Amino acid sequence: MNYLAIKDLNEPSRVSEALVTYGTAFVTDNGKPIAIMMEITPDDEPLELERAMHLARGKIAIAAIREQSRRNGVAKMSQEDIQAEIAAVRAERKKRA
């Protein structure tokens, strides 16, 4: 993966070269990634690529939630336990309202 400092964005030739070479690049600010840039070819549909990136981010988030539920035992809860938890939370909210 290629990294470009935010100040490198002022040099379009450097950005183009990085994207042609690597296809993607992380843009960093003080060494911390803040964005991802992706090469777009004439055949690509930019809005479809953007949609795909959002879907991928969602899939990553769901995978992380599932992994966390496996680690903390929530994945093993019975349907009755889940319904009891929902009822308890709703009752608590009703008290506060």
pLDDT in tens, 39-60: 999 999 999 999 999 999 999 9
% of the chain with per-residue pLDDT over 90: 93
Q: How far is CA 75 from CA 13, 16, 67, 70, 81, in A?
A: 50, 46, 9, 5, 11
The pLDDT of residue 7 is 95
Q: Span 63-79, mean pLDDT?
A: 93
What lies within 8 Å, CB to CB, of 62 at 6+ separation is: none
The pLDDT of residue 19 is 94
Model confidence band, residue 22 (pLDDT cutoffs 50, 70, 90)? very high
Model confidence band, residue 85 (pLDDT cutoffs 50, 70, 90)? very high
* CATH homologous superfamily, domain 1-39: YefM-like domain (3.40.1620.10)
